Amino acid sequence: MNPMRRRLTASAAAIALAITLAACSSSSDAGQAPTSEQGVESSAAAHNDADTQFAQLMIIHHQGAVEMADVAIARAASPEVKALAQRIQAAQGPEIDLMTGWLNDWDEETSHDMGMHDMDMGGMDMGGMSQSEVMDELDGLDGTEFDRTFLERMVAHHRGAIEMSEQEKAEGLNPDAMALAGTIIDAQTSEITEMQNLLAGL
């Protein structure tokens, strides 16, 4: 074989080898991709009883805060109290939707499917008062008295949420639920400080 033909044959062999390796690599990658995605989905769906109870109870807890905030937006005398109520409403509404989505993804009952008597209500009361009692109390107030009572009850409400979130961080499994618990602790601790400062100024 002459030198030119030898070089052409070697080049052709090298090209064929490269194509074969590329095809094998693509085939291997294609086979591995679904496994990786399945792993991510499995991780996202992984949860335990603490995660489930956290989401179910926090949905109800947030619904109570939003209900109180709605009244304060309409009736608070102080612009600062109204603004705080608007922020509470804006933050906790989407979190309710988020946690409801988790429960659906986990094939667990949402809080809407459960009776209140079926749930551990730790952290749900406000200074010994139930949600309905607090709403009745607020309905009978106006002006500065309304603002003061709203802030006092919401401070207690936030403390309950922090207690529930700390339990989730200690006992939960799902990383998204535990991350939300951390967010709630940080945000509501800050809001408690804000509300205490507002109370001091009334």
The span from the CA of 5 to the CA of 13, in Å, is 12
Residue with tokens 């949402």: 110
Residue 192: CB atoms within 10 Å: 19
pLDDT tens digits, 151-165: 999 999 999 999 999
- Reading the block at residue 88, the tokens are 């509470």
Angle at the Cα of 99 from the Cα atoms of 94 and 101, rounded to 5 degrees: 95
Q: What is the pLDDT of residue 45?
A: 78
User: Residue range 44-55: average pLDDT?
Assistant: 91
Please give the average per-residue pLDDT across 54-81, as a whole number: 97
Q: Does the pLDDT of residue 125 top 70, yes or no?
A: no
Q: Is the confidence at residue 114, as pLDDT, over 70?
A: no
Q: What is the pLDDT of residue 66?
A: 97
pLDDT at 177 over 50: yes
Quote the pTM value: 0.74
pLDDT at 121 over 70: no
Cα separation, 70 vs 82, in Å, equals: 9
Residue 7 confidence class, pLDDT cut points 50, 70, 90: very low
Lowest mean pLDDT among 19-33, 34-48, 57-71: 19-33
State mean pLDDT over 35-50: 64
Taking 90 as the threshold, does the pLDDT of residue 75 lie above it? Answer: yes
Does 150 have pLDDT greater than 50? yes
Mean pLDDT of 76-98: 97
Phi, psi for residue 129 in degrees, rounded to 5: -105, 140
